[in-house]
Chains A and B, each alone.
Chain A
């Protein structure tokens, strides 16, 4: 079936950021000091583990950013091809088998019965009982006795596949180790198992193994059940949680993309040129910092909502509209949070410009732009990097809070904030509906914790003061 690729606004920037990351990697590999610092950061087991988990979530987010529209039946009059109004992503296509099996309402994780009693006909008589689910455990003829065995069998099959995958992965990594060190395979394996490698290969492999295991078991169980249950309209909670990953990473990454150029450009200019430029920039960031963040974001998002409502023709599909709101949220979140980094960069630049080698460059008549590019920027880069990675997890957490206040992402966008918000009402129900909250919590916790651990390692490696301390 022919498809038409769609590039949403956030997709564009996410891929641009990814490309910029690759360019930075190349730059690192050619700069010995940077390379040494990054090696130092990645030698920490915690950083290695965090990198594996973040890498997995990044893959999910990228797969969810490749959007396309399927073709519909050709136009009856002209015969021109038509395109489905629904924009889907590669991840949607992967999750389709689970996402398409919608129940009628809530169901517990791995359940075969509905969550609430309903009135329906059984053997020609109306009864009030828990109904069988349309999909979860529908293949069982006598679920009471078969359920446990069937679930265990499916989990075991998933486990086996995952173990096989892990064995292949471990073999490939150990073979790579053996080749680079020029030793036999057995010796490399023993070295990795002992933890004698330069990078924490053992910890990273174990993490990857656990991830594979989780994916294998969940995927295998998903062939017969809703592993994390279903929500109010009967949609799979697992799908909602996986789809939320992209929103979280987009918020973290795009906001950084807004903060970085703004903070660095303004901070360096203010710190280097001083005088009225400095005054003006200081006035600007004092002004922005004075407005409480949530208020500024609320005001801006309210305005956007009014604009979108006033011009419904601006966007072709509902997804594009939601995406524009997400993009705008990143933009405004970035504008409210660049002031801290800007102040930091300005202070650092003021310190640097008094140093003798920069005074010398100035005296030799080197142009200001050249001094900034050659001497100032490389020297403020470490604090910029540190503060960037430290801010990332904050943005992910902020999204949840903003969505709760009602000024976050579009309510139809899958996001952890929206999930937690619905879970709040579900917890008040009897019996308690806990699985939405649990799913959002586990996914969000994994992302934020690994981002925090990774940021810590980067800070310790790049900040000479931190290196002295530990």
Chain B
């Protein structure tokens, strides 16, 4: 177990190093700091001095990988790559163009993101499994047929439409909940109710349909026939055997997404003005702040890799036949 974890973490670090190199090449080589400075300072009529000043403020006037003018270890460390990439492993992301500390901002925004994403994840998963199990129980009937039709229709509607229409009907016409915004404390749930409900509905279609397929696949297996032939009732087989076995792939698929919950949902957060990480990213893209985008790429990748490792662990937990080695 320990050796397994150590190896996976080492591989994860290797992947992170690769990601860092890729984003560095994307942001600093394909697209030179001069371009960035021109974009930030605006237009083509920017003096060379202004560009140099902008670059010096951010340390972008140094060489990329190897600094000949520095001495000793400084040859490696006093470069753009080292400065902007290696420090990331210590979660030091430097400052945004607005002057704020990026790491502090990410820390502050992770909680609202989680407050939105966690209920969506839990309620969505529970509801999808319940509906899928219900459809599998009534398989071959009209209920199943029309249920699937409704799910296919739902998965053909853009999530954007669910948000726009839901916000319009529930918050504007019926005025049940606030249209958007966020507030800590006891009133938080009132702001979260609408975005959570809409996000759950938006992902119900594809998920419930996929889970129904998984349940049906499980039902056609031999152990189900054995269980029935020994006289177990249909519900007993479905809930006692099929559900438990089908939960293994469902749960191990979902575990990978748990760390990513911190990243929140781009679209929902931005529509409902929830000050989370997704919103942060959209703002960064809008103002073309490359430092923030690069930091978010790093954080997202770290969370994803943690998710992969958790998935492997959950496999062995859910299915005793799998050994970690």
Residues of A bordering B, CB below 8 Å: 283, 286-287, 289-292, 294-296, 298-300, 302-303, 305-307, 309-310, 393, 397, 400-401, 404-407, 416-417, 420, 423-424, 427-428, 432, 437, 441, 444-445, 448-449, 452-453, 456, 465, 468-469
Q: Tell me how far the C-beta of A370 lies from the nearest C-beta in chain B, rounded to whole angstroms.
A: 34
Q: Tell me how far the C-beta of A86 lies from the nearest C-beta in chain B, rounded to whole angstroms.
A: 26
Q: Kindly state the separation between the CA atoms of A200 and B164 in the bound complex, as whole angstroms.
A: 37
Q: Kindly state the separation between the CA atoms of A299 and B14 in the bound complex, as whole angstroms.
A: 21
Asked if B161 and A287 sit within 8 Å, CB to CB, the answer is no
Asked if A437 and B161 sit within 8 Å, CB to CB, the answer is yes
| A-B residue pairs in contact (CB < 8 Å), sample of 7 | A291-B22, A292-B304, A306-B31, A405-B266, A405-B285, A420-B160, A441-B157
Using A290-B16, A299-B23, A420-B158 as known contacts, list a sample of 4 further A-B pairs with CB atoms less than 8 Å apart, ordered by residue number in A: A291-B300, A397-B158, A404-B267, A416-B158
A290-B15, A292-B263, A306-B36 given as contacts; is B152 within 8 A of A452 (CB)?
yes
Residue of B nearest to A300 (CB): B26
Q: B23, B156, B172: which contacts A449 (Cβ < 8 A)?
A: B156
Asked if A469 and B220 sit within 8 Å, CB to CB, the answer is yes
B74: Cβ under 8 A from any A Cβ: no
Q: B165, B271, B285: which contacts A302 (Cβ < 8 A)?
A: B285
* Interface stretch of the complex, out of B99-107, B187-195, B290-298: B290-298
Q: B38, B155, B260: which contacts A452 (Cβ < 8 A)?
A: B155
Asked if B301 and A291 sit within 8 Å, CB to CB, the answer is yes
B288: Cβ under 8 A from any A Cβ: yes
Interface members, chain B 133-163 (any A CB < 8 Å):
152-153, 155-161
Interface members, chain B 29-73 (any A CB < 8 Å):
30-31, 35-36, 38-39
Asked if B285 and A407 sit within 8 Å, CB to CB, the answer is yes
Asked if A295 and B217 sit within 8 Å, CB to CB, the answer is no
Q: Kindly state the separation between the CA atoms of A283 and B266 in the bound complex, as whole angstroms.
A: 27
Q: Tell me how far the C-beta of B95 lies from the nearest C-beta in chain A, rounded to whole angstroms.
A: 19
Asked if B304 and A445 sit within 8 Å, CB to CB, the answer is no
B216: Cβ under 8 A from any A Cβ: yes
Asked if B160 and A400 sit within 8 Å, CB to CB, the answer is yes
Q: Kindly state the separation between the CA atoms of A446 and B217 in the bound complex, as whole angstroms.
A: 30
A291-B301, A292-B304, A401-B159 given as contacts; is B27 within 8 A of A299 (CB)?
yes
Q: Kindly state the separation between the CA atoms of A300 and B31 in the bound complex, as whole angstroms.
A: 10
Which residues in B have their C-beta under 8 angstroms from that of A404? 160, 267, 270
Asked if A295 and B156 sit within 8 Å, CB to CB, the answer is no
Q: Kindly state the separation between the CA atoms of A39 and B304 in the bound complex, as whole angstroms.
A: 42
Q: Kindly state the separation between the CA atoms of A292 and B161 in the bound complex, as whole angstroms.
A: 23
Which residues in A have their C-beta under 8 angstroms from that of B39? 306, 309
Q: Kindly state the separation between the CA atoms of A152 and B304 in the bound complex, as whole angstroms.
A: 58
Q: Kindly state the separation between the CA atoms of A468 and B300 in the bound complex, as whole angstroms.
A: 40
Residues of B bordering A, CB below 8 Å: 14-16, 18-19, 22-23, 26-27, 30-31, 35-36, 38-39, 152-153, 155-161, 164-165, 167-168, 172, 216-217, 220, 260, 263, 266-267, 270-271, 281-282, 285-286, 288, 290, 293-294, 296-297, 300-301, 304-305, 308
Asked if A400 and B19 sit within 8 Å, CB to CB, the answer is no
Which residues in B have their C-beta under 8 angstroms from that of A406? 282, 285-286
Asked if B267 and A405 sit within 8 Å, CB to CB, the answer is yes
Asked if A469 and B297 sit within 8 Å, CB to CB, the answer is no
Q: B18, B38, B281, B282: which contacts A287 (Cβ < 8 A)?
A: B18
Q: Tell me how far the C-beta of B257 lies from the nearest C-beta in chain A, rounded to whole angstroms.
A: 11
Q: Kindly state the separation between the CA atoms of A423 and B160 in the bound complex, as whole angstroms.
A: 11
Asked if B297 and A283 sit within 8 Å, CB to CB, the answer is no
Q: Kindly state the separation between the CA atoms of A452 and B155 in the bound complex, as whole angstroms.
A: 9
Which residues in B have their C-beta under 8 angstroms from that of A305? 288
Q: Tell me how far the C-beta of B265 lies from the nearest C-beta in chain A, rounded to whole angstroms.
A: 10
Asked if B164 and A423 sit within 8 Å, CB to CB, the answer is yes
Q: Tell me how far the C-beta of A430 lies from the nearest C-beta in chain B, rounded to whole angstroms.
A: 10
Asked if B297 and A303 sit within 8 Å, CB to CB, the answer is no
Asked if A295 and B160 sit within 8 Å, CB to CB, the answer is no
Asked if B19 and A292 sit within 8 Å, CB to CB, the answer is no
Asked if A400 and B285 sit within 8 Å, CB to CB, the answer is no
Which residues in A have their C-beta under 8 angstroms from that of B290? 302
Which residues in A have their C-beta under 8 angstroms from that of B281? 294-295, 298
Q: Kindly state the separation between the CA atoms of A407 and B155 in the bound complex, as whole angstroms.
A: 23
Q: Kindly state the separation between the CA atoms of A469 and B281 in the bound complex, as whole angstroms.
A: 44
A287-B22, A296-B297, A468-B220 given as contacts; is B305 within 8 A of A397 (CB)?
no
Q: Kindly state the separation between the CA atoms of A142 and B210 in the bound complex, as whole angstroms.
A: 57
Residue of B nearest to A403 (CB): B160
A295-B281, A465-B217 given as contacts; is B293 within 8 A of A397 (CB)?
no
Q: Kindly state the separation between the CA atoms of A296 and B300 in the bound complex, as whole angstroms.
A: 11
Asked if A283 and B160 sit within 8 Å, CB to CB, the answer is no
Q: Give the top 5 A-B pairs by smallest Cβ distance, nearest first.
A: A449-B156, A292-B300, A448-B156, A290-B301, A287-B18
Q: Kindly state the separation between the CA atoms of A439 and B255 in the bound complex, as whole angstroms.
A: 38
Q: Tell me how far the C-beta of A399 lies from the nearest C-beta in chain B, rounded to whole angstroms.
A: 9
Which residues in B have their C-beta under 8 angstroms from that of A405? 266-267, 270, 282, 285
Asked if B161 and A420 sit within 8 Å, CB to CB, the answer is yes
Which residues in B have their C-beta under 8 angstroms from that of A456? 152
Which residues in B have their C-beta under 8 angstroms from that of A291? 19, 22, 297, 300-301, 304
A298-B293, A444-B158 given as contacts; is B304 within 8 A of A290 (CB)?
yes
Which residues in A have their C-beta under 8 angstroms from that of B167? 427
A291-B297, A295-B296, A407-B285 given as contacts; is B153 within 8 A of A303 (CB)?
no
A283-B18, A306-B36, A449-B153 given as contacts; is B263 within 8 A of A299 (CB)?
no
Q: B217, B266, B297, B308: which contacts A299 (Cβ < 8 A)?
A: B297
